[in-house]
Structure 1
Amino acid sequence: MEFFDNFLSLFKTIQFRDIIDILAIAFIIFGLFRLVRETRAVQLLKGVLVLFIVYFFSSLFGLVMLSSLLRAFFEASVVLIAIIFQPEIRKALEQMGRKNTWGRLISAFKQGKGDEWEKKVRKSIVDAADTATLFSHSRTGALIIFERETMMSDIAATGTIVDAETSVALFGNIFFNKAPLHDGAAIIRDGKLFAAGCILPLTSNNDVDINLGTRHRAALGMSEQSDAVVLVVSEETGVISLAFDGELTRDYTRDTLIKKLNELLLDEFEDVNNLRFKRGRKSK
């Protein structure tokens, strides 16, 4: 009964801002758990937990030197966490930036993406799909990146700037197995071939299928570190794949590839156009 009274008196002191504070902390902890549960960071967290247990028992049994050493370790934990979990922290911040829907809409308005931009993107999608189909039959490897919100000028700097209209012939010349740029990736920005021969980071996921080659691992790595959509054609099997949001989907045909690329690259543009159309109707 006394416990219940104490709890009730404590509950009466809780204000609305305290509830918001608790919910915010719970949301952050839940988000961190979701972020690290399928990564190597889980093992690191287990190691930190072991150190906490060792610290508890060293303090309990009066092991002064050991407890002092672990205390110093935990005091510097903020810096250590930033270093150890740097990939996970970077990924979380990038995802936060990508999921800002209103920010995307505002960005699309500012860039003035119109019908001409849409035509270029649709043409680049069809050209890439035709090229992928051709390469699939001829067993020619290819790696084509469709840039979205995240700009990849640093990746483009590792290759050669092309800045040309897309075409099947141009893709064929770039990925011809004797061409100097065939081993790298091509970047498509706003419907134009921006750069070729670019070097991509490999995926950090250790659970990737061992049968996947360097191209597919590079495609996954790029999709993990950005919101890009990466088209891959396997040199060994001719299978057409797409990597986006850190996942690889395979066995595309020309039609299914065009449909998926339109969905991934142009849905946001369609949302902006619909919003403009609604605003125009309201103003009338």
Structure 2
Amino acid sequence: MREVFKFYGYEFRWLEVLDLLIVVFLVIQLYRLLRGSLAFNIFVGLLMIYAAFFMVRALRMPILTNILQNFINVGLIAIIIIFQPEIRKFLLVLGKKTPLSKDSFLTKLFLPDKFKSYKDEENIINEIITAVGRMMGTHTGALIVVATTYRLKFDTASSIPIDANVSAKLIESIFNKHSPLHDGALIIVGSKMLAAKVILPVSENPDLPTRVGLRHRSAVGITEHSDNLAIIVSEERGTVSYAQDGNLTQDVSLEDLKVKLYEVLIDGYA
């Protein structure tokens, strides 16, 4: 097998072609990851700087080459800082697809959980579904975040700690229109409701429908960079939606929501 081939008079090694294809693949994946966010403009700007660096180096312009070289060397640290949320999201998605993730074949083979009892998880699901169903009937707006793989980091300055067991009646009382806690989100981790009136980051995704409000955009925002499920009850229409992995699914039935909660909270259903 030849290690070198010619193309329009130029000679290329197969490894050079493979190197180029890998770079193109990574750039495409970065484009898909950053598309629709403010970080995309920063990404385009960095590409322009790199293109300018290679151009001035090819033209043998030493002053500009040194300036851009130093900028690129320092820029690697800046990239990590600027793109911290995007890097975290990329690693989160990558971790889900590894052979050792919780839904992988190897994990299920060597760590079987078929004898595990899911009574606690089923009780939590039933309490959430009961509360959501009642709030839909009364057009009570609500935003509930169900944290899955780790403790969710949120703004503790404005939130109110609760630390109570998941209860449908308590959820309804929190989001009652006359309750001082109804603004913001309710955070559920495991079997506990940790805090209410939590301010969440608002998504800047321009692809979201224009008619969605702050609750829906906050739900998408908290799931863009974390492995959580956000449930939204619309105050205007009395419908329920959920956000996961930065994607918004609108106007779902209670049965569909229950299936999604099973997927999130109970191993083996995903």
Query: What's the TM-score, normalizing by structure 1?
Result: 0.73
Specify the code of the residue in structure 1 equivalent to 2:86: E
> For the residues of structure 2 that align with 1:250 and 1:101, how far apart are their CA atoms?
32
Q: Structure 1, residues 58-88: CA drift from partner, whole Å, max 9, x if none?
A: 4566655444322321232312322332222
- 3-state DSSP class of the match of 1:211? coil
Q: Structure 1, residues 225-273: CA drift from partner, whole Å, max 9, x if none?
A: 211111100112222001111111111222232233223332x2458xx
> For the residues of structure 2 that align with 1:76 and 1:259, how far apart are their CA atoms?
48
Change (3 A) 1:263 1:270: closer
- Say whether residues 1:193 and 2:179 are aligned partners: no
> For the residues of structure 2 that align with 1:66 and 1:11, how far apart are their CA atoms?
30
Paired position in structure 2 for 1:207: 207
Paired position in structure 1 for 2:134: 134
Give the strand-richer structure, 1 or 2.
2
2:67 aligned to which of 66, 69, 73: 69
Superposition deviation, residue 46 in structure 1: 2.9
1:114 aligned to which of 113, 116, 124: 116
Paired position in structure 1 for 2:150: 150
Superposition deviation, residue 27 in structure 1: 6.9
Query: What's the TM-score, normalizing by structure 2?
Result: 0.77
> For the residues of structure 1 that align with 2:55 and 2:25, how far apart are their CA atoms?
31
Specify the code of the residue in structure 1 equivalent to 2:154: I
> For the residues of structure 1 that align with 2:192 and 2:116, how far apart are their CA atoms?
15
Task: Work out whether residues 141 and 175 of structure 1, in 8 Å CA contact, stay in contact via their aligned partners in 2.
Answer: yes
Task: Work out whether residues 36 and 207 of structure 2, in 8 Å CA contact, stay in contact via their aligned partners in 1.
Answer: no
> For the residues of structure 2 that align with 1:166 and 1:6, how far apart are their CA atoms?
65
What root-mean-square deviation, in Å, do the aligned CA atoms of Structure 1 and Structure 2 show?
A: 3.8
Change (3 A) 1:68 1:23: closer
Identical pairs, percent: 32
> For the residues of structure 1 that align with 2:74 and 2:155, how far apart are their CA atoms?
37
Superposition deviation, residue 144 in structure 1: 1.1
Change (3 A) 1:176 1:101: farther
Paired position in structure 1 for 2:49: 51
1:226-265 equivalences in 2 (<5 Å): 226-265=226-265
Specify the code of the residue in structure 2 equivalent to 1:46: V
Paired position in structure 2 for 1:78: 76
Paired position in structure 2 for 1:217: 217
Figure out how many residues of one structure are paired with residues of the other and give that number.
260
> For the residues of structure 1 that align with 2:144 and 2:120, how far apart are their CA atoms?
16
Superposition deviation, residue 210 in structure 1: 2.5
Superposition deviation, residue 197 in structure 1: 2.3
Superposition deviation, residue 187 in structure 1: 2.0
Paired position in structure 1 for 2:171: 171
- 3-state DSSP class of the match of 1:76? helix
Paired position in structure 1 for 2:123: 123
Task: Work out whether residues 156 and 195 of structure 1, in 8 Å CA contact, stay in contact via their aligned partners in 2.
Answer: no
> For the residues of structure 1 that align with 2:35 and 2:197, how far apart are their CA atoms?
35
